[in-house]
Structure 1
Amino acid sequence: MRILIVIPALGAVYGGPSKCVVELAQALGNLGITVDIVTTNANGSTNLDFPLQTWIAEKSYRVKYFPHWGLSDYKISLSLTRWLFQHVADYDLVHTNAIFSYSVLPAHWACQLHRVPYVMTPHGMLDPWALSYKAWKKHFYYTLFEKPALERASAIQMLASSEAQCAKPLNLQSPLVIVPNGIHRQDFETLPDPELFYQQFPDTRNKKLILFLGRVDPKKGLDLLAVAFAKVYAQFPQTHLVVAGQDNIGFLPTAQSYFAERGCLDAVTFTGMLTGSLKYAALAAASVYVAPSYSEGFSMSVLEGMASGLPCVITTGCNFPEAAMAQAAHVVNLDTEELANALIECLRHPQQAKEMGDRARQLIFEQYTWDQIALNLSKVYTSILKQEPIYG
């Protein structure tokens, strides 16, 4: 089976979608599937430093980068467009990632021209909050480009049952298949010494750390978190909030102002994006993980917090109701009072919080590893190619 994965960019600044595509490609390749990725060299305000328009061999897949020019978030690449029309027919199936980005549109058009089946993964962008954000621009683009592509897809990959439920009012004719993101179990079996994190950020030493791990972006709910954390900090002055994430759009001053207005900015450390051992050390140093998002596809960082055995407080916008059903996380509404109360509960009852973290770790290790996810997705691919009913 030859699979082509198309994504607008793989730069680390784009967070979860870029990370999960790479890790999925590796896991699919480990199953003996031939996997190629094509993408642009975009990386926020810079470009990735890779050879362009040549295959780069990774562990179990290949990737080819194309030059682009930026128009808002659309990442237009004429060379990638040409390549797709010339080479899509070389593959059994194409899997595109993202909507509202020009880079993937030519893949859909080329697939339709050459009669190659394709799967689309919107990564949460069909969620009502995501569709309403900058709605004036998205409505035209969705009607003209995205809806026709979605209607012709062999399947649309939803990352969570709640994401699929939110997409139903759109009345899409293509089958929705639920296949979530995952983690590599070996990355979380033994976390590094938290001292590595304390040395880098000494203000966090000897504090009860609440960790937010995600982009500094309006949809991540930092305005909600500021109100909730101020209430937590008033009761637990030894707490310290770590906001670990990249600011791609210049939102950091606004985010900092939320905490300043609540009088708790001195108890917040903005670290920027953490990667590698430093990120895992932050997870090891934390006492509680929090994700106050308005909208997610299926958050990679939530999986990482749970796989680290942390008690997690997440919102319904994180699209992970299964965590609540397994009593593996506090899943709260988009409400500052509920958010604050759940954080306080974790801090006030550390033994119960630890037990919840243990359940979270077990749930992720049993059901959300990339090996299992790749196997499930490969079955979807096979069903499409055999023109059989799709189950997922």
Structure 2
Amino acid sequence: MKVLTISHMYPSTFNEVSGIFVHEQVKALKEKGVKVKVVSPVPWTPFPINKVSKKWERYSMIPEFTNWDGIKVWYPRYLTFPKALFFASSGKRMYWGIKNLVKKLYRDFKFDLIHAHVALPDGYAAMELAQDLDIPFVVTIHGADLYITIKKNTECLYTLKQVFKRADRIILVSHELKKILSNYFEVSDKLLVIGNGIPINKIYTCKDNADSSNNKNKGLMLLSASYLIERKGIDYNLRALSKLINKYPELRYIIAGDGVEKNKLQELAKELGVYERVEFIGMLSHDDVLKYMSEADIFSLPSWNEAFGVVYIEAMACGKPVIGCEGEGLEDFVRNFETGLLVKPKDVDSLAEAMDFLLSNPDKAKEIGERGRKLVLDNYTWEKNAEKTIRVYQEVLDDVR
């Protein structure tokens, strides 16, 4: 079986953790015998914008081809506008930017189907290419299509409808996303839920680190790892922390990640009087994030519009109790007071109560962490994700034969 993966979210020299979940899936598919090549379209904008903005200049420095862990990855350019202007047509522009490369790869590689990640722009480009090559295509929805793109304008809504109508299968990473998509489009016969995963070797490494951690002598650690953007709810963690510092004088809060909200969060920490308890440690490698997880007592990320949340299962794999919000994709695996704690979104009191419960009941917190770890081991490895994904591929290919 030969597959072409199209995903603008993929590790590159610009960002080695971007789309790491897509890369991990591709590696797992390869280990199962699937032959996979990857096309990761890179946004391109003309002069002088590409020189004015550091972000756009760094995009231009990404090589056109590289090899990640034995996976061949091409990075063709496609025309993009700043601030997501004209986003509804981004799929068409991606198609025009990558079609010659993809058709050349098809002549050499003869892939059986295309697997795109996100419907717009990647899914739209895959849809047009699949028609050109007379092969099927599958699209995985990770959240942005249904939380953001669908609400932009009617043109985006129409474009998504096209992609979903013509896709041979639509994979969603959580049942919450399936529910949202079903409310908008009549495509229930194509929908499947396949959760993300983490690499099995890193699960064991993480647990070994946790077992040998010296953190017990360093006080209590609360941890978050995410982009520092509003919807991740880091400010709510800070406000909850301010309610607990007198009761837990040894409690410290480690924030891994970077983003546009960093300065605002630092100022908030000062205003709340918790700045001395908080460490902003910046963007880390994936391995370093897992190391911090192995040392933490609680992982808390009270975010909203969370389609799945790989970071939660990573923390759970380390045997840590996690805190997230009700009504999000993580409800597939975070079962309240069983494998983690769920709180009301944007509710400081609910969040502080959850933290207080775990901190004041370490034995129960450990039990919750161990149950969460077992759930991840049994259901959320990339090996299991690959097995389910291959079954989808086979069904699609059987349908078109």
TM-score range, shorter chain: 0.7 to 0.9
Question: In structure 1, what is the equivalent of residue 372 of structure 2?
Answer: 360
Moved more, 20-29 or 179-188: 179-188
Q: Is the 8 A contact 1:29 1:60 kept in 2?
A: no
> Structure 1 residues 278 and 374, CA, compared in 2 at 3 Å: closer, same or farther?
same
Of 115, 119, 134, which aligns to 2:138?
119
1:320 alignment partner, SS class? helix
Question: In structure 2, what is the equivalent of residue 323 of structure 1?
Answer: 334
Of 103, 113, 116, which aligns to 1:96?
116
> Structure 1 residues 237 and 384, CA, compared in 2 at 3 Å: closer, same or farther?
same
1:303 equivalent to 2:322? Answer no
Of 134, 142, 150, which aligns to 2:164?
150
Of 159, 176, 184, which aligns to 1:162?
176
Q: Is the 8 A contact 1:84 1:107 kept in 2?
A: no
Between the aligned partners of 1:40 and 1:272, the Cα distance in structure 2 is 27
Question: In structure 1, what is the equivalent of residue 46 of structure 2?
Answer: none
Q: Is the 8 A contact 1:243 1:270 kept in 2?
A: yes
Of 295, 315, 338, which aligns to 1:285?
295
Deviations 1:216-265 (A, max 9, x none): 11221223323222223343232111111132xx2322333443343323
Q: Is the 8 A contact 1:88 1:110 kept in 2?
A: no
* Structure 2: gaps of 5 or more residues: 44-53
Of 381, 389, 397, which aligns to 1:377?
389
Between the aligned partners of 2:17 and 2:309, the Cα distance in structure 1 is 7
1:342 equivalent to 2:361? Answer no
> Structure 1 residues 86 and 363, CA, compared in 2 at 3 Å: closer, same or farther?
same
Question: In structure 2, what is the equivalent of residue 65 of structure 1?
Answer: 75
2:8 alignment partner, SS class? strand
Amino acid at match of 1:122: I
Q: Is the 8 A contact 2:176 2:307 kept in 1?
A: no
Q: Is the 8 A contact 1:41 1:47 kept in 2?
A: yes
> Structure 1 residues 98 and 162, CA, compared in 2 at 3 Å: closer, same or farther?
same
> Structure 1 residues 224 and 263, CA, compared in 2 at 3 Å: closer, same or farther?
same
Per-residue deviation at 1:318? Answer: 4.2
Q: Identity across aligned pairs (percent)?
A: 22
How many aligned positions are there? Answer: 373
Between the aligned partners of 1:344 and 1:65, the Cα distance in structure 2 is 47
1:83 equivalent to 2:101? Answer yes
Q: Is the 8 A contact 2:174 2:308 kept in 1?
A: yes
Question: In structure 1, what is the equivalent of residue 6 of structure 2?
Answer: 6
Q: Which has the higher helix share?
A: 2
Amino acid at match of 2:114: V
2:205 alignment partner, SS class? coil
* Structure 1: gaps of 5 or more residues: none
> Structure 1 residues 146 and 15, CA, compared in 2 at 3 Å: closer, same or farther?
farther
Per-residue deviation at 1:108? Answer: 1.8
> Structure 1 residues 65 and 3, CA, compared in 2 at 3 Å: closer, same or farther?
same
Question: In structure 1, what is the equivalent of residue 48 of structure 2?
Answer: none
Q: Is the 8 A contact 1:181 1:373 kept in 2?
A: yes
Q: Is the 8 A contact 1:125 1:131 kept in 2?
A: yes
Between the aligned partners of 1:22 and 1:354, the Cα distance in structure 2 is 31
Per-residue deviation at 1:50? Answer: 5.4
After TM superposition, the score normalised by the length of structure 1 is 0.85
Question: In structure 1, what is the equivalent of residue 34 of structure 2?
Answer: 33
Q: Is the 8 A contact 1:311 1:354 kept in 2?
A: yes
